[in-house]
Amino acid sequence: MQKIGHFIGGKHVDGTSGRFADVYNPATGEVQAQVALASQAEMDAAIANAAAAQPAWAATNPQRRARVMMKFVDLLNRDMDKLAEALSREHGKTLPDAKGDVIRGLEVAEFCIGAPHLLKGEFSEGAGPGIDMYSMRQPLGVVAGITPFNFPAMIPMWKFCPAIAAGNSFILKPSERDPSVPIMLAELMIEAGLPAGILNVVNGDKSAVDAILDDETIQAVGFVGSTPIAQYVYSRATASGKRAQCFGGAKNHMIIMPDADMDQAADALIGAGYGAAGERCMAVSVAVPVGESTANALIEKLTPKIEALKIGPYTAGNDVDFGPLVTKEALARVKGLVEQGVKEGAKLVVDGRGFSMQGYEDGFFMGGCLFDNVTKDMEIYKTEIFGPVLSVIRAKDYEEALDLPMSHEYGNGTAIFTRDGDTARDFASRINIGMVGINVPIPVPLAYHTFGGWKKSGFGDLNQHGSDGFKFYTRTKTVTSRWPSGLKDGAEFSIPTMK
């Protein structure tokens, strides 16, 4: 049985706590490895290592730090297939989707090559008689990231790339469900020239999370996961005086107007709703057709497409649409929510719960499900299902459709499909959601913009990556400077003002 430990001080370190978690192959249901769960002492050692290494890294000029990111990008491209295969083996994603996971993180690393420009401060000459003022952006010190199972490459890189480029050292606590890729990323960072101790990967469970949240050395924490845990991390981290940037659950709506291209809308829903078995925080899980004729046409388009989805292990080829869910528990939860939707009165147009694949009967597979006539009071509408389930909730008109995402407690992403520019502009302006797509089903911003949800999808003042990433991982120091002219005016006892 393979044992996966930690990566501390630039090398692999065996776990010493005696506690382990099973790592499954979701396609077969078999345990393929065991990952060590860190003790308080192991986390303390990693933090001490990061704290010792950080001052010298912060003193390294930003251009040299950026060169590490430049080399890291080269190595990611070199090892793309290797990273994708390891990711698929533990998560269950198809290989093309796994490569997309890596590439979306790589793009943030590319953006961070511009760190020298992003870290520039401001200067005001002659702010007063002989007085100049300037500001500097300086690293926080030791920072941390707690990242989820569904993007084991992308989200760690969204966190550690800007943090490290800004001069911090980083403690990464990835998901224990698919721990191999985060450690592989740390190995590549060392190969790219990162000093030992600047990126430490510590595997663990709630004990490791709490150790991060309570440690006085750690100055900031980034988190992605469910909303209840995001709220917990945010409240405990901020209570300890840390900066916190926590992103939670989602219930992403896609509104289909009567003038939309119905083929385009249906294809968009299939990809956005069922890709990665629906285990994405930006998955579209609610379709809102406006008008009965639009709804009927949409259901007619969707049904055969969902029934024809190709489901299987990543080894079955690049034409597989999606693979298994990540764990047996996740599969049982999704099936339970589908059953609840049936009991609540929603019409289950396509039922994928009985899907079974020959030779992979013990895998965590499930076919796509499609609900029609869903209503706002149903649990399947209120809850993030995080599986291959799409709910259709019919709206009489645009205002009723708009109210659905507006009034939902989550505010991560949303989209509208229409040919009308006025409707699209109104939607983008009025919607209280963090990321908006216009004829784009998964509106994940590119690396030089920022990613973040509103309402109960996001906690904290700054988003991930883009300029916000550098703002979050640095603080501003402002210097007021005056060089004496040789004329001594005596002491001043009143507060300085503009003269």
Is residue 281 flagged as an active site residue?
A: yes
| Backbone phi and psi for residue 437, each to the nearest 5 degrees, phi listed first | -115, 135
Tokens of 418: 């229409």
**Measured distance CA(431)–CA(435) in Å, rounded:** 10
**Measured distance CA(189)–CA(202) in Å, rounded:** 16
* Strand 6-8, strand 347-350: pairing: unpaired
Tokens 């209280």 label which residue?
432
Q: How many CA atoms lie within 13 A of 488 on its CB side?
A: 2
Q: Could you tell me which residues come within 8 angstroms of residue 453 by beta carbon, excluding any fewer than 6 positions away?
A: 247, 248, 250, 281, 410, 411, 412, 413, 433, 434, 435
Q: Could you tell me which residues come within 8 angstroms of residue 247 by beta carbon, excluding any fewer than 6 positions away?
A: 223, 224, 225, 230, 281, 412, 452, 453, 457, 458, 459, 464
Q: Could you tell me which residues come within 8 angstroms of residue 262 by beta carbon, excluding any fewer than 6 positions away?
A: 256, 294, 297, 298, 301
**Measured distance CA(403)–CA(388) in Å, rounded:** 25
**Measured distance CA(349)–CA(365) in Å, rounded:** 19
Residue from 365, 311, 308 nearest 94 by CA: 311
Radius of gyration of the chain, Cα coordinates, nearest whole angstrom: 25
Write down the catalytic residue from 112, 161, 246, 281. Answer: 281
Residue from 54, 8, 450, 6 nearest 219 by CA: 54
| Backbone phi and psi for residue 219, each to the nearest 5 degrees, phi listed first | -100, -20
- For residue 495, give the DSSP letter: P
User: Mapping DSSP to helix (H, G, I), strand (E, B) and coil, where does residue 369 land?
Assistant: strand
Catalytic residues: 281
